[in-house]
Amino acid sequence: MKILITGAAGNLGGQLCRRLADQHQVADADIVGDVSHKLDITDYQACRGLIDAMRPDIVLHPAAWTDVNGCALDPDKALRVNGVGTQHLASITGGRGIPLLYVSTNEVFDGALDRAYSEYDRANPINAYGYSKWYGERAVAQLNPRHYIVRSAWLFAHGGRNFIHAIRQAAKDGKPLRVVTNEVANPTYTSDLAQAIVQLIETERYGTYHLVNEGAVSRWQFARFVLDASGFANTPIERISRHEWPRPSLPPEYAALANHAGASIEIVLRPWRDAVRAFLEAEAAP
């Protein structure tokens, strides 16, 4: 199978490339990084040219502008990249009968429910990042019937800097830690998400999926578990409200996702605590 992967220089895109390259012909594309194909998804002609030249059997589209605060400060760019860029791919693949998998986010929801969101609960984004990703979802659903929409949440990966890295580094440096208690979602290991996506595209069961490590937790509980598992059990973390942590983009308060569709075809990610332990073990390995 010929597979085109956007955002291949990113953590999730890179994971997908590595996992699929052994059994498939993979074309890695990104606007940055050491990739085979430079691709700006906001350029319709460039997208069409690459897809027509390659004629992939499927396009995996994790490419996105994921800087949520940056999106809040420049919502037009967020919409151009995450929304219109995705619309380009949906239009081109849909017109050629090529399946498209789009990676979205729990931030398409407003966080107002008192339970985890199901796949077909009503989206109602409350920030620019969530709106731009919802725009992409609508384009994919309307323009390509052979689509997968995969929502995930609170990704952590090796390389770069994420929540786990930031919390551990602050503890090592002896900095005071203040973490919010009223933001809740599913910490998700990028390696597990990539494997779940690989399983999903083999099913040809199109639709919307919530692929997250099992279990929901607050940011404070997440941080506490990370420190306890990292040898910093005695490091205190002050509990604060999200309104005490001002930032340009306010995330939804309760944006946990429930995996019903994936579970129905036996695609379930392990509990988030197990995933964090595996991540920490891999980080410690020489």
Residue 286 has pLDDT above 90, yes or no: no
**Which stretches of the chain are DSSP H helices?**
11-20, 44-54, 68-73, 75-78, 85-96, 128-143, 163-172, 190-203, 219-229, 261-264, 272-284
Least confident range from 161-170, 183-192, 198-207: namely: 161-170
Domain assignment present for residue 243? The answer is no
Residue 160 has pLDDT above 80, yes or no: no
The count of structural domains within the chain is: 1
Domain of 16, CATH number, reads 3.40.50.720
Domain assignment present for residue 110? The answer is yes
Phi-psi region of 212 (alpha: psi -120 to 50; beta: other; left: phi over 0): beta
Tell me how far the alpha carbon of residue 65 is from its chain's centroid.
Answer: 11
Per-residue pLDDT, 243: 86
Domain assignment present for residue 101? The answer is yes
- The DSSP secondary-structure symbol of 22 reads T
Per-residue pLDDT, 94: 98
- Please pick, among 44, 102, 120, 129, the residue that the annotation labels catalytic: 129
Residue 159 has pLDDT above 90, yes or no: no
Q: 144-156, pLDDT tens digit by residue?
A: 999 999 999 999 9
Quote the CA–CA distance of 231 and 229 in Å, as a whole number. Answer: 6
Domain assignment present for residue 231? The answer is no
Domain assignment present for residue 150? The answer is yes
CB 37, CB 50: distance < 8 Å: yes
CB 101, CB 152: distance < 8 Å: no
Distances (CA, A) of 247 to 67, 77, 152: 12, 18, 22
Per-residue pLDDT, 78: 98
The top-scoring range by mean pLDDT among 127-136, 160-169, 246-255 is 127-136
Per-residue pLDDT, 148: 98
Q: Which residues contact 40 (CB under 8 A, 6 or more apart)?
A: 31, 46
**Average pLDDT of the chain?**
96
CB 42, CB 88: distance < 8 Å: yes
Quote the CA–CA distance of 5 and 131 in Å, as a whole number. Answer: 23
Domain assignment present for residue 275? The answer is no
- pLDDT exceeding 70 applies to what percent of the chain? 100
pLDDT confidence of 190, banded at 50, 70, 90?
Answer: very high
Q: 16-66, pLDDT tens digit by residue?
A: 999 999 999 999 999 998 889 999 999 999 999 999 999 999 999 999 999
**Axis-axis angle for helices 11-20, 190-203 (nearest 10):** 50
Closest by Cα among 236, 259, 248, 258 to 167: 236
Per-residue pLDDT, 225: 97
Domain assignment present for residue 70? The answer is yes
Quote the CA–CA distance of 150 and 136 in Å, as a whole number. Answer: 12
Q: Is 44 a catalytic residue?
A: no
Burial class (CB in 10 A: 0-12, 13-18, 19+), 279: buried
Q: 198-237, pLDDT tens digit by residue?
A: 999 999 999 999 999 999 999 999 999 999 999 999 999 9
Per-residue pLDDT, 15: 96
Domain assignment present for residue 235? The answer is no
Print the domain residue range for 124: 2-156+187-213+258-270
* 188 or 244, greater pLDDT: 188
Closest by Cα among 254, 165, 267, 264 to 214: 267
Residue with tokens 């996506």: 197
- pTM of the full structure: 0.95
Per-residue pLDDT, 205: 97
Per-residue pLDDT, 285: 72
